[in-house]
Structure 1
Amino acid sequence: MTQDLLALSDHEPPMGDLFTDARLDTGRAVWTGRLPGEREMAKKRIVHQRVVRLHGEAKLLRLGLRRGQGYHKCGSRQDLDWVTSLRVLGWTGGRWREVWRGDDLRAPAVGAVRWIKLPQMTVSGVILEVRRSGIDDGWTPWNLAMSAFVLEGELLVPIAPRQERLLTLESVELSGLPRGVTAEVRDGSVRYRTREFEVGFAVGRPGFSFFGLHVEDDANAGINLLTTRPPLFHQGPQLHPLGAPPLIAPAVRCDLEGAVRVKGATVRYAFSTGGQHYTLTWRVSSQGLELRAERSAERALFAWHSAAWQIGLRNSASPSQVLGRLLMDGESGAVALPALLTLPAFGSWDIRSSSPAGWARSDCRRSQDVNTLELKVGEERTPEGMYRLPAGTHRAIFTLTPHRPGALLHASAPAVAKRAVARTRWTALTFRSDTATLSNNGASMHCPICMDTWSAIAPGLGEVFPGLPATEFLRLSLERWLTGGPGYAAGRLLQGGRAHDADDEYLMTGASALLGLGNFLRQTATRGWFREYRPWITAKLRAAEQRDLDGDGLIESAYRTGVSGTSQWSTCWFDVISFGWKDAFANAILYGALGALEGGLERCDEKAEARTLRAWAERLKLNYRAAFWNEQTGWLAGWRCRAGKLHDYAFLPINGAAVAVGLIEGAEARVMLRRLLTEAARVRMPDAALGMPGNLWPIPDFDLADIMQGYPLGYYQNGGRTHSQTRHLIMGLYRCGLTREADRLLKRLCVGFADARVFGGNQSGVDWRYWDDRPCGYEGLLTDQFGVLEPILWRWGAQASRS
């Protein structure tokens, strides 16, 4: 019977409406090099696949191509992308064969399916690898891979039946526990407690049942950071061989045979499945956890998914991130050990392996509220994104130790600032290993519009491990942006059937990323790195220059006019406020970028280009004040729209940024910022501990995007309190000599960090607050919040010499 192989569901548990959404198809992200015809692509990039994990053989018939959702890079619309280059791979005869390849594919008509007849090949696995797309070209989007295909074929082997089995419990003996460790048996698991963490081990199948960390705050004791929704079990060993049903998977399959034994603080799992034999021995001490992992087999095995141990973490509790050196081949997310598993508001685990045979992989499944960390033993990554488990015996000893960051501030720094830095130093590096970029948070979108924030703090954070500086994550993020990797407000947008750079709408994305690039070139980049990326850097600079539409040095958006009543989205980070045409925030960031790039290019011996940028910066400064100064208020407005009108709602970050970069200086800068502080007192701006509003005056609906209309002052970006972007006001106050005022606000901002009250689990909303303290955000943690580390380190850092 002919059917769409991409629409096949695996079995659900027979327990009602649990909706595990177990499917035979899934999306995957893989590192790739250049194939013939891809010379202009980056040497390394991530592309996306749609795979069919068949339980046996199927006959392929034809492939349908249609337009599908592209990368959702702008909240105001969803573009339909299309596949322009594709490889179809089939698993047959114990290897991958190219079934079909197409390049320069034309776009299907909207709503139509273009059919391609495939060789009638019998396969037991399929990969649809999107090499290029119509909008974003070589960095192909996940959404497109998951929506652009119909794959018709005949299933020759039915979906395998459910197969759940339990381990034999040999014994549980809890005597002789190490000092500082207590234990109890409850709810089908053995749970251990120490002063800094709690861990539970399921006895029915191998895996954690509880994973808690309170190294930062005793109040976190008793909170389980794992995802635990029955009957899904995202914990412990995982194994899905190619061409066969899963052997150990989160739902309906745990096809193993073995036993578990608990003696004191040692939990030993020994079992076999699919010709693989595992012995996994955990030891708990007051200092941390140790896993002695051994895997042996007589024959090699290829697998879609494999892990000696997986930890499935609940992003609504804490959006985790893994900080380690990326292994840039095979399925994305692979990380060499040592690495830090950071759990915002809870602390970090230092994870190490005794051998290179032990490594890790991090992945994000946002729709399932899950981030996973996999520990691998003796596994080889394949170019297709699979795993080869070689024959023989493979061993590694993993250690997981609660981690406290070292001191960054000098001894005389305020205690609240020291605690703020201790709780945010690694949380601030909101890196996604599976996508190789800093992001909104470890379970959220990529956002190059924050590159200026990352470059402001990364150098001061030092090394995560010896030889792994925080600037490594900035480098990876810059490389992705330079070579076309899409993100929120970054990449390409479609309008009238033609794609244009998202930076033409979100002016601040290009400005922010150029500032990050300038700081990296000035402080960190090698000459070799600059030479490799010079063509992309030059292209970005030329594109930025072309955004000065009227020759005054300021950049403008031809797409977003800023005119009242248009309900348009923004040209800057405040994306649901209708900034447009000439944007005071984006241009202040751009001015800082031009200065940083001038210094960076001079360091790289690009003196002529540096002079060009210096002249541009001088022209921008000459015209900036006149473009945005509001004579009625004595400070800068937010934007001047295409109709020539100023739009001023007493924006704190914008005025601070203009002073911080030197666009407004001296006595005038001091008077301007004092006026704003006086106005903040007049309108009774709340305590800054939970953040500061971006604007002091309410923004009427006619200057807001449609989704923001109808809400009062204090809701989200219309005056909501947040730590995001507050660094600009603080640095501006310091720049113009208002040190006492800056210290007062900065210490209060530190309180929110020190108490971890302003960042939390996804959808907790604590990243924004009404003026009455109620949460009104969405993510729960936004990367921009941690820009506050810039003034903290500038003022009280160990290298600081300011009085």
Structure 2
Amino acid sequence: MTPNLFTHPLATPAWELSPAATTRLHTRSLWTTPAQDEATAPARRIIHSRALFADRPARIERVSIGAAAGYHKCASGQERDAVLDLGLFIPEGQEWREIGRISGLAGDILANGASIELDGVETTALVAQARRAATDEWWPGWNLVTTGIEVQGRIDTEWEARAEGHLRVDAVTLDELPPGITATATQTEVRFRTSHLELGFRLISPAWSHLGLDADGEGRTDRNLLQMPRSMDIVRSGVYPSGVYPVLRDQNAEYLAQGPRFTDITGMIPLGFLHTEYRGSASVVNNRVRYELESEIADQSYILEFTVHVDRISLRATRSSAQNRRAWTSSAWHVATDNRVTPSEVLGAPTFTGETGLLNGPISWHFPRHGTLSVHASGDALWRSDSVRPLDTNTLELKLGERPTEFGDYLLPAGSYTAEVEMQVRTPQLAELDTQASPAVRRMLERHTLTALSFRPDTATYSNNGASMHCTTSLADVSAIAVQLDAAPGLTPLQWVGDSLQRWLDGAPSYGSGATSHGTHRLEDEYVHMAANTLVAAARFVRHAPEGHDWFRRNRAALHRELEGMLARDVDGDGLVESTLRLGNSGEHQWSTAWADVISFGWKDAWANAVTYELWQLWEPELRALGETDLAARIDTARLRLREAYLPTFLNPETGLIAGWRSRDGALHDHGYSVVNGAACATDLLSEEQARSVMGSLVHAWDATALTDFRNGIPLNLWRIPESDIGGVIFGLPLGSYQQGGYSHHGARVIVDAFDRVGMTVHADLVLEGLATTIADDTSFGGLGSGRDWRMADGTPSGYEGQLIEGFSVLASALRRYRR
């Protein structure tokens, strides 16, 4: 059987006899604009390419597409998708030539697949670019392109080692270091330490060995933020719910590399991981480290001169070449960071061109719990950030004198290009604070405003954190913060809300949002709360962004569609929105209509309806100001009817609390949901008197469970949820585990806002101060996999992610109170 060149086996003896021995695979994300036959495609969108590079010519016989893993929108079910439009390209000189295309209808390809015969075309590189998909339409995802394309062909599998490169160490002199800097040298590295920085340099290879930051200047820099290349980790597999996805052998090499990288479009890899194909020298003179290296086969030369200061790193970088080159991978300097330590963020202005993640400077390189490097560059410099979830890695790279192409690769013109770069340890401030703010609240706002703004430039949307997936529901909390912040060079929090919303309106998938392969509905019809949260953010953007009304007009049809869709979710005419898909009945173990996705919120969801009231309240005046009087009137009517129906439907007379949901069978499900009660009382959904009574009942319930200290967070539910009201994941867990009563900071701003609204300021102060204290001291969250964003009653971590964006929602409450 002809092997599939688009997969690799694990590191077993079979590797030596397989195409993996002499091939490398990459999946690449890139921005694109509509082609001539894509009239209904959005003006900009992200598509993906799957690339094969070979050490010697491969003979490509056939390429096939078919049903495969889709974008992972919810843990309750694996999405199924298929590529519908696939272009095939091979290099020809310094260009890419299209050699074939596969296209078809969704039903046909999902059922039977499709293929094209290529009759043994010889090439050292093949790029398969997917432009359309069966489920996600114009946004074919990474999962799909990585798993849904098969390339049958043959290649010589006799492996030959490449020439390895090492630098000559010319000098290591540390006799005259500036004040405030100490340094040590070993056989393999030199390491500098200051009160703000710890920076290590390798000597026989051009790479950092250690990066540690302390924004407070107290010398806590021993924790290495870098992700180390692992030569025995070239082959690595991972698991999705549907099974094993193809191994990431070559993306390890690409993403874990530190230092310069270069791969031309024929697949040659002279620079990068494992010291291949370069020569040069390294020298250290006091606080200055200089690398000079060149690769004859790549025709690239680099001079990289770093100077370490007490609170900053300076870099003078030069790239030179005698001829024009076209590269698939290229960096003058590449840094990979370890998200298990902290999910870093690179915040700046996306270019929306070529490979995703490209940024114009300046940028802020933020490491939650550690500090921020404010980065400025002069010269022909371009930045790129990426996140590689399977490798727990985020990256930052400096591109010097490079020109991104529409194909997703790079032109490197001949000549010499230089950039001067400054990376200073500093914390950008986006709001001036009143002197009345307590030390904990002030430190929370000053230290972690950037942490709360986890905008990923490689996807152009706010995400769970700098290394996690996109959840448009998070935009409700993010927008509540962003509307109160100022912009700064490279830092535009409200504009990023607009970018995130544009992506959503243009059909891009996210968790709990978008098309699904499990029916003709959209996931917003299941996760009603998430749809409401996203529309709240859209209303805030329309109201507060300088271009808000123009943005509405450009997106009028899509916004009307979403608002009309929310109105239509009131299926029985009582003013409340319902889900006809998730019904909330005990024992059916359905997943949620709400943010708490593993709990069986359903049918009439008190959380979703509280947010729906707010979105009606926010949209009605904006629509009137825009001349949309008919829709505004319908929304106002819906708002009033929802308000009238809310308390009779959801108030539990036995507890005095708003219950979580009323299921399709009429049962009321009340497990003491604090955030749901806060959401119900933070607006005028309930009268001030009614809201004060509910919040008083909440305090009584807190007292009954001995909840008086909020530094650990607030339990999602005060009383155990029976197994019959759980959709999955938390079956059998003890109280306090994740969404079974776990304590967290998630979404707590509405509780503070509700206490403030009804005059219970003492309780508002206690909650805000407690939550702010553990955000300020960095203990309420951690690296990926730490689980520190959820806690049991005794403080034991009980989550999974480690940091979620909703955990910083109380910044909005603090800004409302203390922003000047």
Using the size of structure 1 for normalisation, the TM-score is: 0.95
Of 294, 301, 304, the match for 2:318 = 294
What residue number does 2:84 align with? 84
Question: Following the alignment from structure 1 to structure 2, what is the Cα–Cα distance between the partners of residues 183 and 434?
Answer: 36
Deviations 1:102-154 (A, max 9, x none): 34434457786533223653333222111111111111111000111111123
The amino acid of 2:144's aligned partner reads: L
Question: Following the alignment from structure 1 to structure 2, what is the Cα–Cα distance between the partners of residues 395 and 57?
Answer: 36
Of 498, 506, 523, the match for 1:475 = 498
Deviates more, 1:36-45 or 1:268-277: 36-45
> C-alpha displacement at 1:450, in angstroms?
1.2
The amino acid of 1:628's aligned partner reads: F
Matching of residues 307-318 of structure 1 within 5 Å? 307-318=331-342
What residue number does 1:459 align with? 483
Of 396, 408, 411, the match for 2:419 = 396
> C-alpha displacement at 1:461, in angstroms?
2.6
Question: Following the alignment from structure 2 to structure 1, what is the Cα–Cα distance between the partners of residues 101 and 64?
Answer: 14
What residue number does 1:714 align with? 736
Matching of residues 756-795 of structure 1 within 5 Å? 756-795=778-817
Question: Following the alignment from structure 1 to structure 2, what is the Cα–Cα distance between the partners of residues 539 and 90?
Answer: 42
Is it true that 1:727 corresponds to 2:749 in the alignment?
yes
The amino acid of 1:225's aligned partner reads: L
Name the SS of the counterpart of 2:555 in structure 1: helix
What residue number does 2:509 align with? 486
Of 434, 440, 460, the match for 1:410 = 434
What residue number does 2:463 align with? 439
> C-alpha displacement at 1:81, in angstroms?
0.8
Q: Is the 8 A contact 1:359 1:375 kept in 2?
A: yes
Deviations 1:129-182 (A, max 9, x none): 111111111111110001111111233696652332210011100122122111
Is it true that 1:504 corresponds to 2:525 in the alignment?
yes
Is it true that 1:366 corresponds to 2:389 in the alignment?
yes
Is it true that 1:304 corresponds to 2:328 in the alignment?
yes
Question: Following the alignment from structure 2 to structure 1, what is the Cα–Cα distance between the partners of residues 717 and 10?
Answer: 51
* CA spacing shift, 1:491–1:473, aligned 2, 3 Å: same
Name the SS of the counterpart of 2:116 in structure 1: strand
* CA spacing shift, 1:739–1:217, aligned 2, 3 Å: farther
Deviates more, 1:59-68 or 1:226-235: 226-235
Q: Is the 8 A contact 2:713 2:745 kept in 1?
A: yes
The amino acid of 1:61's aligned partner reads: E
What residue number does 1:163 align with? 163
Matching of residues 615-630 of structure 1 within 5 Å? 615-630=637-652
* CA spacing shift, 1:482–1:221, aligned 2, 3 Å: same
The count of aligned residue pairs is 790
Of 591, 594, 600, the match for 2:613 = 591
> C-alpha displacement at 1:718, in angstroms?
1.5
Name the SS of the counterpart of 1:737 in structure 2: coil
Is it true that 1:234 corresponds to 2:234 in the alignment?
no
Name the SS of the counterpart of 2:751 in structure 1: helix
> C-alpha displacement at 1:424, in angstroms?
1.1
Q: Is the 8 A contact 2:22 2:157 kept in 1?
A: no
* CA spacing shift, 1:230–1:787, aligned 2, 3 Å: same
Question: Following the alignment from structure 1 to structure 2, what is the Cα–Cα distance between the partners of residues 55 and 8?
Answer: 15
The amino acid of 1:410's aligned partner reads: D
Question: Following the alignment from structure 2 to structure 1, what is the Cα–Cα distance between the partners of residues 83 and 741?
Answer: 42
Q: Is the 8 A contact 1:584 1:639 kept in 2?
A: yes
What residue number does 1:189 align with? 189
* CA spacing shift, 1:218–1:768, aligned 2, 3 Å: farther
What residue number does 1:375 align with? 398
Matching of residues 678-693 of structure 1 within 5 Å? 678-685=700-707, 687-693=709-715
What residue number does 1:537 align with? 559
> C-alpha displacement at 1:49, in angstroms?
1.4
Is it true that 1:651 corresponds to 2:693 in the alignment?
no
* CA spacing shift, 1:40–1:216, aligned 2, 3 Å: farther
The amino acid of 2:205's aligned partner reads: R
Question: Following the alignment from structure 2 to structure 1, what is the Cα–Cα distance between the partners of residues 738 and 352?
Answer: 38
Name the SS of the counterpart of 1:211 in structure 2: strand
* CA spacing shift, 1:23–1:723, aligned 2, 3 Å: farther
Q: Is the 8 A contact 1:423 1:756 kept in 2?
A: no
Of 611, 631, 636, the match for 2:653 = 631
What residue number does 1:245 align with? 268
Question: Following the alignment from structure 2 to structure 1, what is the Cα–Cα distance between the partners of residues 187 and 444?
Answer: 37
What residue number does 2:576 align with? 554
What residue number does 1:801 align with? none
* CA spacing shift, 1:467–1:141, aligned 2, 3 Å: closer
Q: Is the 8 A contact 1:84 1:107 kept in 2?
A: no
Q: Is the 8 A contact 1:216 1:423 kept in 2?
A: no
Is it true that 1:613 corresponds to 2:641 in the alignment?
no
Question: Following the alignment from structure 1 to structure 2, what is the Cα–Cα distance between the partners of residues 491 and 582?
Answer: 21
Matching of residues 44-55 of structure 1 within 5 Å? 44-55=44-55
Deviations 1:696-744 (A, max 9, x none): 1111111112321111221111211100011111111111111111011
* CA spacing shift, 1:190–1:207, aligned 2, 3 Å: same
Q: Is the 8 A contact 1:302 1:388 kept in 2?
A: yes
Name the SS of the counterpart of 1:125 in structure 2: strand
Question: Following the alignment from structure 1 to structure 2, what is the Cα–Cα distance between the partners of residues 487 and 216?
Answer: 36
> C-alpha displacement at 1:187, in angstroms?
5.9
Q: Runs of 5+ in structure 1 lacking a partner? A: 799-803
> C-alpha displacement at 1:61, in angstroms?
1.6
Identity between Structure 1 and Structure 2 (%): 36
Of 585, 590, 598, the match for 1:568 = 590
Using the size of structure 2 for normalisation, the TM-score is: 0.93
What residue number does 1:266 align with? 288
Deviates more, 1:273-282 or 1:106-115: 106-115
The amino acid of 1:625's aligned partner reads: L
Q: Is the 8 A contact 2:364 2:490 kept in 1?
A: no
Deviations 1:304-334 (A, max 9, x none): 1110001110000010111100011110000
Question: Following the alignment from structure 1 to structure 2, what is the Cα–Cα distance between the partners of residues 23 and 244?
Answer: 9
Name the SS of the counterpart of 1:427 in structure 2: coil
Q: Is the 8 A contact 2:328 2:410 kept in 1?
A: yes
Name the SS of the counterpart of 1:325 in structure 2: strand
Question: Following the alignment from structure 1 to structure 2, what is the Cα–Cα distance between the partners of residues 159 and 468?
Answer: 48
Q: Is the 8 A contact 2:166 2:275 kept in 1?
A: no
Question: Following the alignment from structure 1 to structure 2, what is the Cα–Cα distance between the partners of residues 30 and 336?
Answer: 16
Matching of residues 344-355 of structure 1 within 5 Å? 344-355=368-379
Question: Following the alignment from structure 1 to structure 2, what is the Cα–Cα distance between the partners of residues 27 and 601?
Answer: 43
Q: Is the 8 A contact 1:430 1:441 kept in 2?
A: yes
Question: Following the alignment from structure 2 to structure 1, what is the Cα–Cα distance between the partners of residues 817 and 418?
Answer: 48
